[in-house]
Structure 1
């Protein structure tokens, strides 16, 4: 295909600049052709056919003089700098018409193909006026994207011709993990910690740092009554404690092959990222130091420990673009690396696939050494397929065989987990909907019990 043909083809695909006939003009010529075909039975001359076609074409071309020139139009796109994965965003586009002609228009924005949008956009711009139009965009895949162009078509007053132009407008947008769970925790931490009907304790009696003095309420420990303030205010006052601040939390995120397994919404890595950010926000809000390490066969990202809510943005910018690696995870390598970079005692939270991890005998040697200094907790996502097959009724031979194999796999997993837990390496599994909730709940419980 020659360069001219490529340009013409791109023009019809809404990807180039130029002038195109509208459906209305094509319909007029089709109608004329039908009339000429019928007239041919009465001996109409070729001169008459050519003359009428030229006349219609010339009249239609005059219609182009009543459309704005390209330099009389300006555009501006208000693309958000960051978009959360799977969340709908409104993207406004501003069109300024500096000419004395009004027109109808169509817009297609050159967003990445993975974005979910509805194009083209239709609208009308009045003369010497500014018009705003908005489209909805949903980004299902994390990453950093560059949007370079905006494709614009506008028609003449009679709607016989369309002018098309391509505007260069470069915007950078980052698609970050869904932070709905993190925001929900920061808005109402205690409500977020209601898991399976159990209210997580704020602290253990008599353990932690002094927080404040408040009024005594039913259910408080009488041993914590502050008698001096009670006598001064003539009201029963009690001391309130909270877990010690300044502990170290290390979050490990597995990016290996098994983390690419698809779930109801996204994959295991997506859910692990969301849970890791939520538990990081919980730890930073309570004044703890948080470091994050993402790995597969090698260490991909390492964010050193720091405290303060501003550090959450540092973590987010470092890990928002990590992807699933096609290779297997090298747990021994990452644990060896962790021994070198994390010298202070910390809570290690590993987000990974429990079933894969259980068969890593080499990792057990490193974990035994790490366990001497750190507290280890692994968090995985339940295999819903396995649970479903265990719970199905064995009313057929094939179902009975599938159920027995699933039960056998579950027993093997429990036996292996018991072996690891005897070494002091705890593992839990949660459903994808409750992964973030479970991670924060266990973190709070560990801090309440002062295990660090």
Structure 2
């Protein structure tokens, strides 16, 4: 009896009818001639209520439903969740589906409304956008079915509790993995960069055949063999490329609900995949008070899986990042000249000057690219007109911060340090462009 009472829900239509009859009973107190009609109405309502309950509970199965979840969610992207429902009643039913979403979304009123014909099966899809890496726990699936009378609804709860991990954006990885090797780069913001000069590694000396570049003739070998010999080159490969993620407190700043740290993590996953596809070695590590989460730059089948699992567990410790420790660790641990993509953020010139000596020292040994983030909220604020003196004052301060960010970029360029200043949402594309440019120009 208790499960039955827990599963039955009186609907809005019943309460409207019941309230109308109650009003008639009040009027019957003053007008006795309508009392009999009111009792008849009340009896009809109770009979319809009993009939509606009988319709919904005569079939023990009622509605069959389940939720289909992906193996893992992609952070910062739209992920599709699928629900299926089958009507086992012999009459059409109206459905109200309430899915118990993970607490991270703080949404308790998520509902789907639909109508199912007898024996009809329907598929429902909705999208979710996670913005925090970690475990997402889905609860039960609740189905409220009602007949055409619509006086009561029968609730069926399907045990669908499940945990889905939210990983760095592997959907972006698949997207850029495809477009980086097609001729449609410009459609997605990627640049096709012309290769400049001879960024080649020597492979062998071979006999000249028509079509070989005469500039590669090896005159000493030609004199010894008494026939024309040329040097054969191959593209430089297996160069180490490290993504270095600052996980200090400056990277916790959110834009579009996603922190700068997560933007950097998503970009690291994508660029690592492209680096490996370009036959270079991909690696990564993070730092704040010390260097952590290290994945040595290698070219192997398991490298992407290792990077993905490492990125999944990266969290900020809200401390001040120690660039001196970063420099010391790079100097001791990484001997081969490498490309470092450093994801960090400086808001003031003073903050840059405190760390500039260490950035210069790293750039002398390796090729360093400092990746900074534009404050898009400031740009949005500046695009709106000021309405009063207080607004003019605020816009002046905002313009000062925007201008100082440009000064930071110029200061880094002055010391020969490659720099990217990008909006967070364009980080991945701009990082790929810079890597392709460096490879084409043979800077590494």
Q: Which residue of 1 aligns with 2:207?
A: none
For 2:310 and 2:405, locate their aligned partners in 1 and report how far apart those are by CA, in whole Å. Answer: 36
Q: Which residue of 2 aligns with 1:312?
A: 304
More moved, 42-51 vs 374-383: 42-51
For residues 153-200 of structure 1, the C-alpha deviation after alignment (integer angstroms, 9 at most, x for no partner) is: 111452221111322102333444445654454223365379999742
Task: Report the secondary structure of 1:252's partner residue.
Answer: strand
**What's the TM-score once normalised by structure 2's chain length?**
0.74
Change (3 A) 1:142 1:384: closer
* Native 8 Å contact 1:90 1:134 kept in 2: no
Q: Which residue of 2 aligns with 1:3?
A: none
Change (3 A) 1:414 1:251: closer
* 1:7-406 matches, cutoff 5 A: 17-43=6-32, 53=42, 56-68=45-57, 71-98=61-88, 100=90, 102-112=92-102, 114=105, 119-127=110-118, 129=119, 131-143=121-133, 144-178=135-169, 182-189=173-180, 191-192=184-185, 199-202=192-195, 204-205=197-198, 207-208=200-201, 223=215, 243-263=235-255, 266-299=258-291, 301-308=293-300, 311-320=303-312, 322-339=314-331, 341-355=333-347, 359=351, 370-371=362-363, 373-383=365-375, 402=397, 405=400
State which of 436, 441, 452 in structure 1 corresponds to 2:428. 436
* Native 8 Å contact 2:190 2:432 kept in 1: no
For 1:370 and 1:208, locate their aligned partners in 2 and report how far apart those are by CA, in whole Å. Answer: 25
* Native 8 Å contact 1:148 1:170 kept in 2: yes
* Native 8 Å contact 2:81 2:128 kept in 1: no
For residues 337-374 of structure 1, the C-alpha deviation after alignment (integer angstroms, 9 at most, x for no partner) is: 44555454422211111446963677566556655643
In structure 1, the gaps of 5 or more residues are 1-6, 226-237
Which aligned runs of 4 or more in structure 1 are off by greater than 6 angstroms? Answer: 44-52, 115-118, 193-198, 385-394
**What's the TM-score once normalised by structure 1's chain length?**
0.73
Change (3 A) 1:57 1:275: same
In structure 2, the gaps of 5 or more residues are 205-209, 218-229
State which of 408, 414, 418 in structure 2 corresponds to 1:413. 408
Displacement after TM superposition at 1:131 (Å) = 1.2
Change (3 A) 1:240 1:96: farther
Task: Report the secondary structure of 1:158's partner residue.
Answer: coil
